[in-house]
Structure 1
Amino acid sequence: MRIARDQIAENGAHAVSLASLARLAGVSQPAPYRHFADRDALLEAVATEGFEEFAAALTAAAGGRDGAVKAMAFTYVAFGEANIELYRLMFASRLVPDAGTGSALETAAVDAFNRLRGALSATTPADRVDDEAHLIWAQLHGLVMLKADGHIRRPLAELVEVSSLLNPS
């Protein structure tokens, strides 16, 4: 899976094939099929691993302290900037929406989102947690994608610092 992640980081998920990965790994062309049914199964596994790492980073950032949501926001944009092609696979592909209910990918994606919901629940009325979580998630996602596509040139941490969603007046 390391070779797949390296190829995704270098060329994007669209350029990954099981045959090319087999060549790079120095194994026979059918060898990857012992681990993955097809290319989509490989990409799902990579995205699942990405969401698990992302959730762990969000949890570490929150650390159960005041300012957890803002710390998570900094971590969110840093993860996206540092792993843009993995991030695109996780958030800008059909993998998660098409994942089966209860699949490892869906579970990992929901778990990552629930980290933000959990941090918000400490300071936000219960009936507003989901709405606030979606607004913050969307804002952070938009920042990462705009930066990745060249529309934002400055460090995203600067924008998180001044965000009105994260710094209500």
Structure 2
Amino acid sequence: MLDAARAEIAAHGAQGLSMASLARRAGVAQSAPYRHFSDREDLLAAVATDGFERFTEALLKAASDGAEETALKRMAVAYLVFGEGNVELYRLMFASGLVPGAAPDSALKRAATASFQPLLERVTASDPEASHLSAHVRWGQLHGLVMLKADGFIHDPPEALLGVLSI
């Protein structure tokens, strides 16, 4: 079900996903999705949770694939590449309102919160005087670039964009 939902979201965005369209894409009875998810919001939360987990893995892999002093830059590239390669999933994760409305102890809220930790840790490791606010500013820069690229306002490759940022 999650694979079918991810494919549907990638092709048409989350706004068009319904339990019926999911069942059709998966080739199962219309009632089948309800065996796994209570409703559409539960399904979207599961897809977003999985997206945050994959996003976090990409950031951690980038951070560990080279010298410590360039880890933050590699993570920033990984951030932009993930956003560009998963536009509709990224929108679901960061622009749908799912996370702010999630229960504090939900898997979605935990996964979303955990996705910020690698960036926060790298920012403070590269500059011990840096604050949580500094990490948020860098996150905002990266998020803005992903969204501007997704909406067709920017066409530059991630490496070129990072060359002019304070990351």
For 2:98 and 2:80, locate their aligned partners in 1 and report how far apart those are by CA, in whole Å.
21
Q: By how many angstroms is 1:155 displaced?
A: 1.6
What SS is found at the alignment partner of 2:146? helix
Matched, 1:49 2:50: yes
Q: What is residue 162 of structure 1 aligned with on the other side?
A: 164
Structure 2 residues not aligned, in runs of 5+: none
Query: Deviation string for 1:39-82 (max 9, x for gaps)?
Result: 00000000000000000110011117221111110000000000
What SS is found at the alignment partner of 2:160? helix
Q: What is residue 117 of structure 1 aligned with on the other side?
A: 120
For 1:110 and 1:70, locate their aligned partners in 2 and report how far apart those are by CA, in whole Å.
21
- 1:77–1:157 contact (8 Å) kept in structure 2: no
Which one-letter code corresponds to 2:54 in the other structure?
E
Q: 1:153 aligns with which of 146, 150, 155?
A: 155
For 1:102 and 1:160, locate their aligned partners in 2 and report how far apart those are by CA, in whole Å.
35
For 2:25 and 2:79, locate their aligned partners in 1 and report how far apart those are by CA, in whole Å.
31
TM-score (normalised: structure 1) = 0.93
Q: What is residue 88 of structure 2 aligned with on the other side?
A: 85
- 2:69–2:126 contact (8 Å) kept in structure 1: no
For 1:66 and 1:100, locate their aligned partners in 2 and report how far apart those are by CA, in whole Å.
37
Matched, 1:102 2:100: no
Q: Cα RMSD between the aligned structures?
A: 1.1
What SS is found at the alignment partner of 2:30? coil
- 1:144–1:156 contact (8 Å) kept in structure 2: no
Structure 1 residues not aligned, in runs of 5+: none
Question: Once the two structures are aligned, what percentage of the paired residues are identical?
Answer: 54
- 2:49–2:107 contact (8 Å) kept in structure 1: yes
Q: By how many angstroms is 1:125 displaced?
A: 2.8
Residue-pair matches, total: 164
Bigger CA drift: 49-58 or 115-124?
Answer: 115-124
What SS is found at the alignment partner of 2:105? coil
TM-score (normalised: structure 2) = 0.94
Which one-letter code corresponds to 1:22 in the other structure?
A
Runs of 4 or more above 6 Å deviation: none
Query: Deviation string for 1:84-115 (max 9, x for gaps)?
Result: 00000001110011011021011101111011
